[in-house]
Amino acid sequence: MRAQKFHGRYDPDGRICEAPGCEGAGEFRAPGMRSHGFDGPGEWRYFCLDHVREFNAGYDFFEGMSADEVVSAQSPTAGWQTETRAFRADAGVDGMPRWADFDDPLDAIGMRASEIKRAAAGRQEFSRFTPREREALNVMGLSAKSDRTKLRRRYSELVRRYHPDRNGGDRTHEGRLQKVVEAYQLLRKAQAFV
């Protein structure tokens, strides 16, 4: 692949320059009459290098805008209220902050940083447990701040919930009950609870 001398050059594929009377290849694109928007991408016009330079020299992005619209378009936060994927209501998955929930981008970034710190602190609390013990805590639905009393209370709650005698003989939860019993046996001997 040959390096392009000019950035923004497109393969003309037989397109000719749209400047009246020019027979050159239309290799450079310029905004057309319809800009991009809700209805999809806008239109492009294609020119040769000389005519795209001429077009760019006379192009005015702010043409037709009022003074307030020009100031708004030049604002550093222009487009912040635009709904993109990060602004949609379903963008806040997995506890991530949604950009649309904030008026200022720095507030959103600060919220994300505080969540990262909180998660790191949570991982540090779990560091006193072995990987198998962490998995057992997850099975039991306990946090790293739990003690033996919470462990026993949670164990009896889960046994009552999953035991077939408490479910009218229904044995569909036996696998889950077995995991709870194994997790409890491991955690009751854990050094982290001593």
CA distances for 66 relative to 42, 71, 72, 73, angstroms: 22, 9, 10, 11
pLDDT mean over 1-9: 62
Weakest mean pLDDT among 38-42, 76-80, 84-88: 84-88
Stated pTM of the model: 0.38
Location of structure tokens 């492009």: 44
Matching CATH number, 131-193, of 3.40.640.10, 1.10.15.40, 3.30.450.40, 1.10.287.110: 1.10.287.110
Q: What is the pLDDT of residue 65?
A: 86
- Expressed in angstroms, the distance from the first to the final Cα of the chain is 67
State the alpha helices, DSSP H only, in the chain: 49-58, 67-74, 105-126, 131-140, 148-162, 174-188
Count of positions (residues) in the chain: 194
In this structure, the number of other CB atoms found within 10 A of the CB of residue 150 comes to 14
Weakest mean pLDDT among 19-28, 56-65, 166-175: 166-175
Q: What is the pLDDT of residue 72?
A: 84
- pLDDT tens profile 10-26: 887 888 998 999 989 99
Q: What are the start and end residues of each CATH 1.10.287.110 domain in the chain?
A: 131-193
pLDDT mean over 103-132: 74
pLDDT band at residue 39 under the 50/70/90 scheme: low
Q: What's the CA gap between 84 and 105, in Å, rounded? A: 14
